[in-house]
Amino acid sequence: MFPGIEAYDVDVTVDERDVERALAVRPADVAAADELSFARNVFLPLTTACRYTCTYCTYYDPPGQASLLTREEIRETCRQGANAGCTEALFTFGDDPDDRYAEIHAELDELGHESIHDYLREACEIALDEGLLPHSNPGDQTYEEMAAVADVNASLGVMLETTAEVQAHGGPRSKVPGQRLNTIANAGKHGIPFTTGILVGIGETWRDRAESLLAIRELDRRYGHVQEVIVQPVSDNERWHEGSPSTATMRRVVAMARAVLPESVSVQVPPNLMDARDVVDCGIDDLGGVSPVTDDHVNPEYAWPALRELEEVAEHAGVPLAERLPTYERYLNEEWLSERVLAALDAPDDAGERYRTVRAGT
Ligand code: SF4
């Protein structure tokens, strides 16, 4: 049983035979994709406050140093992104700022919001107004918190990272696998297209990797809402000095993800964190987001590759590179999206034209 699933009342189990099958997968067992996709986005770290202190993470700033994007900053970045041809506003959080972040709560108060999730709703509305589709990655969310932003997002995401309890999540404030699984389940209950992923190299075992992927598969089987799984290597930075997984490890994990997950679920490796050419024959079919406007605030030491570099990966693989929207094509309908987002997709304006052009090419 995964740690914390009782506390969060989420029912996920995996079959031991499936674990054994996943552990047996090698790169030669999976086929390369016949196309690679990517999205053009702007990156909006709504707050760098986080109630947790994961030891590999450079995203969060401690209390007193954490920031909150202003309405004006959000609008300006979205406007620049739309002008540069982006389609996605990628909002990220740390997890809910806790009581220690007094100044963040005071700023939210001044903005007239009770919580960061309330502010996220307004931020998403700004993005829609400026001609971008919001995709929010706001850490863990309760069913109610998700309900508050569901109709203004084209899709949501949170990294599962691992179903194991690892030292890297340790300390007095430690995130719990059950809470993450519950967030993924909540998105399924709301019928929201969802992106998740695993983090490789934070102390998890091969069995943990297999179980994490199988847990994601189980939730997707239940709700059909998982659009993409990111297989992300941990990287050295100012807080993490334990190194990254080897190329051989990444090749095997990516192949395991491809073999475990249904074909409908995309597998992505972030090409700013490893050379995607090394895993392109292991079943990845997506290269994530590329931004002409903002840095990758989650991993600021690793610049996003230019579009040209993504093209080089596709050339190396001998497959076409296709732009996609933040939400995958099969979810772009009334079953999955709100009237508000569907209206944005079909709007007779420049933004609608950008979305239609991207969809026509996929
Ligand atoms: S990885 Fe996420 S939950 Fe952990 S400290 Fe960083 S922002 Fe917070």
The alpha carbon of residue 266 and the mean position of all alpha carbons in its chain are separated, in whole angstroms, by 12
Contacts of 143 (CB under 8 A, 6+ apart): 186, 189, 190
pLDDT at 299: 61
Q: From the CA of 315, how far away is ligand 1's center (Å)?
A: 34
DSSP-assigned beta bridge partners for residue 280:
none
Q: Is the CB of 57 under 6 A from ligand 1?
A: yes
Reduced to 3 states (helix: H, G, I; strand: E, B; else coil), residue 151 is helix
Distance CA 178, CA 197 (A): 15
Distance CA 71, CA 271 (A): 30
Give pTM, 2 decimals: 0.96
What does residue 303 show for φ and ψ, rounded to 5 degrees?
A: -65, 145
DSSP-assigned beta bridge partners for residue 196:
229
On whether the CB atoms of residues 283 and 31 are closer than 8 A, the answer is yes
Task: Pick from 175, 179, 198, 230 the residue to mutate for probing ligand 1's pocket: most ligand atoms within 8 Å of its CB.
Answer: 175
Q: Is the CB of 160 under 6 A from ligand 1?
A: no
pLDDT at 291: 87
Q: Is the CB of 95 under 6 A from ligand 1?
A: yes
Residue type at 149 in one-letter notation: V
Question: Closest Cα to residue 67, out of 56, 79, 55, 59?
Answer: 59
Q: From the CA of 200, how far away is ligand 1's center (Å)?
A: 15
pLDDT at 305: 59
Q: Whose CA is nearest to atom 6 of ligand 1?
A: 57
Distance CA 25, CA 35 (A): 22
Supply 68's token pair.
């909150």
Distance CA 314, CA 319 (A): 5
Q: What is the largest CA-CA distance in the chain?
A: 56
Q: From the CA of 321, how far away is ligand 1's center (Å)?
A: 31
pLDDT in tens, the chain (362 residues): 898 888 888 999 999 999 999 999 999 999 999 999 999 999 999 999 999 999 999 999 999 999 999 999 999 999 999 988 999 999 998 999 988 999 999 999 999 999 999 999 999 999 999 999 999 999 999 999 999 999 999 999 999 999 999 999 976 778 899 999 999 999 999 999 999 999 999 999 999 999 999 999 999 999 999 999 999 999 999 999 999 999 999 999 999 999 999 999 999 999 989 999 999 999 999 999 988 776 666 666 666 556 888 999 999 999 999 999 999 999 999 999 999 999 999 999 999 999 999 999 86
3-state SS of 33-102 is: CCCEEEEEEEEEECECCCCCCCCCCCCCCCCCCCCECCHHHHHHHHHHHHHCCCCEEEEECCCCCCCCCH
Residue type at 362 in one-letter notation: T
The alpha carbon of residue 225 and the mean position of all alpha carbons in its chain are separated, in whole angstroms, by 14
Q: Whose CA is nearest to atom 7 of ligand 1?
A: 94
Distance CA 36, CA 357 (A): 17
Reduced to 3 states (helix: H, G, I; strand: E, B; else coil), residue 134 is strand
List the CATH number of the domain containing 29.
Answer: 3.20.20.70
Contacts of 62 (CB under 8 A, 6+ apart): none
Distance CA 46, CA 68 (A): 6
Q: Give one word for 204, left, alpha or beta, with left for phi > 0 and alpha for psi -120 to 50.
A: beta
Q: From the CA of 280, how far away is ligand 1's center (Å)?
A: 28
On whether the CB atoms of residues 68 and 107 are closer than 8 A, the answer is yes
Q: Is the CB of 166 under 6 A from ligand 1?
A: no
Distance CA 288, CA 36 (A): 10
The total domain count for the chain is: 1
Domain region containing 145: 5-361
Q: From the CA of 63, how far away is ligand 1's center (Å)?
A: 14
Supply 29's token pair.
């067992």
Angle separating helix axes 71-83 and 350-361, nearest 10 degrees: 50
